[in-house]
Amino acid sequence: MALRFEVLGRFNRARAAQLTLPHFVCQTPLFMPVGTQGTIKGLTTNQLEEIGCQIILGNTYHLALRPSSELIDELGGLHKFMNWPRALLTDSGGFQMVSLLHLADITEKGVTFQSPVDGKPMLLTPEESIQIQNRIGADIIMALDDVVRTTITGPRVEEAMYRTLRWIDRCIAAHKRPEEQNLFGIVQGGLDPVLRDICVRGLVDRKLPGYAIGGLSGGEDKNSFWRVVAQCTAALPDDKPRYVMGVGYPLDIVVCSALGADMYDCVYPTRTARFGTALVPEGVLKLKHKAMADDTRPIDPACMCMVCKNYTRAYIHCLVTKDAMGSQLLSYHNLYYMMKLSRDLHSSIIQERFPEFVCEFLQKMFPKGDVPEWVCNAMEVAGIDISCCCAPFSSSQD
Amino acid sequence: MSSAPDTSILTSLNIQHGTDLHEMKFAVTAWSKGRARVGVLQLANCPQPMETPALLLSTRKGLPVFISPDLLPSLPSPDSHLLQMSPLHFLDGISSKTISNIGGLHQMLGLHEYGFAAVPRDSIVCLPECDSTNKIGASFETPSGRRLIKPVEYMEMISSMKPSLWATLADEVPAWVSAKRNKASVDRTLRWLDECITLSPAGGAVFGAIVGGANVEERQRCAQEVAGRNVSGYWIGGFGLGESMDERPALLNAVADILPVERPRQICGLELPEEVLQGVAAGIDLFDSTYIYHLTLGGFALTFPLESIQRHEFDSRLSDVGSDHTKINLRATIYRKDTAPIVDNCNCYTCQNHTRAYINHLLNVHEMLAQILLEIHNTHHYLGFFRSIRTAIKEDNFEQFRQTFIDSRREHLNMTAVCASA
């Protein structure tokens, strides 16, 4: 194990912790921006440090294709290659093969896919995924799992869960750098609580440095989503980090944190920025909209980021989707927003005012009190009273 | 008409910068043999005076194409504080009224200590379209299509943007037009100059546009007329539009010899180092940096030595991929595993932080960071080139400097030719 996880504060299931990784001491809950090909699109590593990014994610599949894990290894690992001094996480590569490639076929040996280079069939085994990630050298590496869409039901979900459990042993056996890199196992099992339970138990038995909740954010309904998260976080060990994969909407992060999750990743903040959308406490602001053309306010008047301190919505409006600078400035703002959200979650838990923070967050996002039902349900399980921000019942209940 | 918060923005701007927001001072401080000169340009809102010959950084909508404003301070100061912008970039998307409400360019771009020079043509996405230009206004190909700009419309944009200095509207024509069309372009440019001056807002240094195509007499006629007007400086247009490099010195000298020495001269359309040297030799003070944009998009990085321009060992591997002794093409596979910075000892952000191998990878996978890093390095390097030019002039060494630079390039071309024929 190459990490230390110390819980610094709690509110019911929610926790604020210090996660010490080989390259950085992180404060959780935390959001990890996605730097697919060894760069967060449009931002320099200095800017990422300035914004407060603690750990960023690299995609094994993309990096293995270009520039190749051998080259990254030869040049001293991904940290050195992209000059990022803080922490890194790489995924297993399995998800990209299934999501990006039509002809991916999963067998007991591994994931067979068509090479995007020459079209020949190629095989990614658990051993190979770990070997590639060992060469890339991230602080956290992910086990190869058998991913199925959450919208799929039936025996395929069960098969995938058991296969994920069989593959974790092959991953552990193949892992050559356990003193420098932390292998996280991934809980699968679709939306079936029985399968999820078997998977969690199986993984916990392996005493891994950390655990991820996988197979979510694939179009399942929100009620199923938070119930799976709640079930897994309740069953996972208290002294290990818990990572909900592919989660990136601010609301989802707040809910999952209340349920006891610690880490998140998503392309959403940077991708939506490139399409001209800014994240704000009220939700989103579409800078492409005509109404922005003569709006002389900053994107978010309360935001302290470089973009909001200097630029009007009107100016950003004339850049977005036309000029590279539009993507750069909005990505900067959106990641700043995500980092601020992470810091606020951490500090409000430490300062024992987490429920107040959650209520303020919900009030800004749902000023009319129309907090979605699934959020109310999840918060009840999390033991957080949000009645003050839910309009119809706000005062009549007590 | 402006609403309450907007007025407060305007007030704070005035408090911050005083009333002489657009005052400009210029003085020539050193001459080399011939016409090359070093000057000092002081713009009211720039804390430090800038030396000329200087490079104006090309922008898209007021910001460098890829360098975000928080990265700008990593470039040499005050050298990097002159930005060139085209008002035509804002034809779509944001109205002059809104720009005016925000408080002008400096306020809108959050760059209070920078000088903005407004010129309609940017040589990248806004180009003069002389066939559609008529007596009413100048036609340009712009990102929002072909647009006819009348002097009154242009002046509306200038009044709302409040640039530190601006060039009057010109009818620029390529070198191959008929004598009649060329003469018409001079007549129109002079008429528009007077219209622009009449309509000009208080403040903002006016640079009178000089055209005349590839005809020395027309160039002289235009320069003579403009020299007689009440302007703070001169903007020389109509270059980089099909004239040969050989006919340029005569045209440039004809103009420079007529213009009063005590006012700055800006030029458009001289890109390459050799072309810049040609301009400097004729006594031009301000240049644009479209060269950097083109290099950056092509994956090129400038590498020529700055301290002393010297001859170099010829590496035949480099010529195959478009590299020469002044620049390298980072797309080339030879940089795949090259862990050196673009230029050893270069103290730009890119060279201090990243390797050739990393930039090669970013180019391969079409990541925007490649352009960001290349624009930073190339801008830094070209600003260094201008510093070397100024040093050479101050040391009365400019002609030798220029000759050495050109000779080493020529030598390289000869070597390439030898390699190719062998």
Q: Which residue of A has its CA nearest to B369?
A: A42
With a cut of 50, say whether residue A398 has pLDDT above it: no
The answer to whether the CB atoms of B364 and A66 lie below 8 A apart is: yes
Least confident of A127-131, A392-396, B120-124, B326-330: A392-396
Q: Sorting pLDDT into bands at 50, 70 and 90, what band is B4?
A: very low
- Torsion sign across C-alpha atoms B4, B6, B9, B14: negative
With a cut of 70, say whether residue A15 has pLDDT above it: yes
pLDDT in tens, A249-280: 999 999 999 999 999 999 999 999 999 999 99
CA–centroid distance for A25 within its chain: 18
Catalytic residue IDs of A: 91, 265
Contact B137/B120 with Cβ under 8 angstroms? no
With a cut of 70, say whether residue B212 has pLDDT above it: yes
* DSSP state string for A133-186: HHHHT-SEEE-------TT--SHHHHHHHHHHHHHHHHHHHH---TTT-EEEEE
Q: Sorting pLDDT into bands at 50, 70 and 90, what band is B105?
A: very high
pLDDT of residue B318: 57
Architecture of domain B49-288: Alpha-Beta Barrel (3.20)
Terminal Cα distance for chain B, rounded: 73
pLDDT of residue B15: 31
- ipTM confidence score: 0.97
Contact A356/A347 with Cβ under 8 angstroms? no
Please tell me the distance in Å from A53's CA to the nearest CA on chain B.
Answer: 17
Dist CA A61 CA A136 (whole Å): 11
Dist CA A14 CA A234 (whole Å): 11
Mean pLDDT, residues A369-390 = 96
Amino acid at residue number A163: R
Q: Which residue of A has its CA nearest to B370?
A: A42
DSSP class of residue B249 equals H
Q: Sorting pLDDT into bands at 50, 70 and 90, what band is A100?
A: confident
With a cut of 80, say whether residue B398 has pLDDT above it: yes
pLDDT exceeding 70 applies to what percent of chain A? 98
The answer to whether the CB atoms of B98 and A38 lie below 8 A apart is: no
> Hey, which residues 36-95 in chain A have their CB within 8 Å of chain B?
37-39, 41-47, 50, 62, 66-67, 71, 74-75, 81-83
Amino acid at residue number B225: E
pLDDT in tens, A167-195: 999 999 999 999 999 999 999 999 999 99
Q: Which residue has the tokens 């470039």?
A: B75
Higher local confidence (pLDDT), B409 or A197: A197
Average pLDDT of chain B, as a whole number = 91
pLDDT in tens, B235-248: 999 999 999 999 99
pLDDT of residue B316: 53
Dist CA A283 CA A304 (whole Å): 17
pLDDT of residue B202: 77
| Disruptive mutation site among B334, B339, B367 for chain A (greatest number of A CBs within 10 Å) | B367
Here the tokens at position A138 are 């991230």
Could you give the angle at the alpha carbon of A109 between the alpha carbons of A106 and A110, nearest 5°?
A: 45
* Neighboring chain A residues of B336 at a CB cutoff of 8 Å: 67, 71
Least confident of A199-208, A318-327, B300-309, B376-385: B300-309
SS3 B129: coil
Here the tokens at position B220 are 């002289």
Domain residue extents for chain B:
49-288, 302-421
Least confident of A301-305, A380-384, B17-21, B182-186: B17-21
pLDDT of residue A116: 79
pLDDT of residue B416: 73
pLDDT of residue A14: 98
Dist CA B43 CA A28 (whole Å): 48
Q: Which residue of B has its CA nearest to A287?
A: B93
Dist CA B331 CA B308 (whole Å): 27
Please tell me the distance in Å from B70's CA to the nearest CA on chain A.
Answer: 7
| Disruptive mutation site among B10, B57, B59, B70 for chain A (greatest number of A CBs within 10 Å) | B70
Dist CA A111 CA A94 (whole Å): 7
pLDDT exceeding 70 applies to what percent of chain B? 90
Phi and psi at residue B295, in whole multiples of 5°? -60, -50
Q: Which residue of B has its CA nearest to A38?
A: B362
pLDDT of residue A121: 84
CB nearest B93 (choices: A37, A297, A318): A318
What is the model's pTM?
0.95
pLDDT of residue B5: 33
With a cut of 80, say whether residue A97 has pLDDT above it: no
> Hey, which residues 50-69 in chain B have their CB within 8 Å of chain A?
60-61, 63, 65-66, 68-69
Amino acid at residue number B107: Q
Burial state string for A136-164 with b = 16 or more CB within 10 A and e = fewer than 16: bbbbbbbbbbbbbebeeeeeebbebbbbb
Task: Detail the residues of A annotated as belonging to a binding site.
Answer: 91-95, 145, 188, 215, 303, 305, 308, 333
Task: Detail the residues of A annotated as belonging to a binding site for Zn(2+).
Answer: 303, 305, 308, 333
pLDDT in tens, B248-303: 999 999 999 999 999 999 999 999 999 999 999 999 999 999 999 999 999 999 99
Contact B107/B114 with Cβ under 8 angstroms? no
Domain residue extents for chain A:
4-267, 273-386
With a cut of 80, say whether residue B20 has pLDDT above it: no
* Neighboring chain A residues of B10 at a CB cutoff of 8 Å: none
With a cut of 70, say whether residue B313 has pLDDT above it: no
Least confident of A90-104, A329-343, B329-343: A90-104
DSSP class of residue B348 equals S
- Fold classification of A4-267 is TIM Barrel (3.20.20)
The HSE-up count of residue B79 (CA atoms within 13 Å, CB side) is 19
